[in-house]
Chain A
Amino acid sequence: QSALTQPPSASGSPGQSVTISCTGTSSDIGGYNYVSWYQQHPGKAPKLMIYEVNKRPSGVPDRFSGSKSGNTASLTVSGLQAEDEADYYCSSYGGTNNVVFGGGTKLTVL
């Protein structure tokens, strides 16, 4: 199963919005509403930020939102803050009792 495709980097200034894309196929992202997004700070474990395309776990700020169109999912971070600087990974149910991850996007807050 091929990894999902994410841009290697993204950036924005404090207060701005940034959107990270995640492209798959009709066998994963396009076929199911089971897209998740994770935030990972250096040396730390990943943290679930979005599940089922656009749902936020308890405690995740509403500045984080998710969406999907066709085979591409997106994570939008609004009102960027310094602490949002991290790596972000998308994942999707892969259709054959598996999960596939994206390669990750390093978000820089300028």
Chain B
Amino acid sequence: QVQLVESGGGVVQPGRSLRLSCAASGFTFTSYAMQWVRQAPGKGLEWVAVISHDGSKKYYGDSVKGRFTFSRDNSKNTLNLHMNSLRTEDTAVYYCARGSLYFGFDYWGQGTLVTVSS
């Protein structure tokens, strides 16, 4: 069965960096674009970034552009989200999800909580 497992969340000070990972299994990883979506405590969903199936194309939401970098390792079926210059407003549960920008995100991980606080 399809599984997406995020890791790497925690408490970090403003201005510092953090790397999130997502381990994928149960499907042909190289065939799918992948996404990061976040949800601040008590708030709605916010799209963060997308990466194409082969990693050649990456696009970011305006609020993270220039600070976050999305990458994938197709040999290990993993995704990474490098988050730099973190702000308090980046505090959220971060979900990785499978799917393209057009056809919906059909599988989601359980999420990992990132708290940015001094």
Q: B101–A38 contact, CB under 8 A?
A: no
How many residues belonging to B are interface residues under a CB distance threshold of 8 Å? 23
**Are B106 and A46 neighbours in the complex by a CB distance under 8 Å?**
no
List the A side residues contacting B101 at CB < 8 Å: 34, 93, 97-99
Q: Does A84 reach chain B (CB closer than 8 Å)?
A: no
Contact with A along B34-64 (1 / 0, CB 8 A): 0101000000111100100000010101100
A34 in contact with B102 (CB, 8 Å): yes
Q: Which of A15-23, A72-80, A100-108 contacts B (4 or more CB under 8 A)?
A: A100-108
Q: Are A100 and B47 in contact (CB under 8 A)?
A: yes
Query: With A1-B62, A97-B50, A98-B59 as given contacts, are A48 and B44 in contact (CB-CB < 8 Å)?
Result: no
- Known interface pairs A46-B95, A93-B102; A98-B47 also in contact (CB < 8 Å): yes
Stretch of B15-23, B75-83, B84-92, B107-115 that contacts chain A = B107-115
A3 in the interface, Cβ–Cβ < 8 Å? yes
Question: How far, in Å, is B55 (CB) from chain A's closest CB?
Answer: 15
Task: List chain A positions with a Cβ less than 8 A from chain B.
Answer: 1, 3, 32, 34, 36, 38, 40, 45-48, 50-52, 57, 89, 91, 93, 97-104
Not counting A36-B103, A46-B108, a sample of 16 additional A-B residue pairs whose C-beta atoms are within 8 angstroms of each other reads: A34-B102, A36-B105, A38-B105, A40-B45, A45-B95, A46-B95, A46-B105, A48-B99, A48-B104, A52-B104, A89-B45, A91-B45, A93-B102, A97-B101, A102-B44, A104-B45
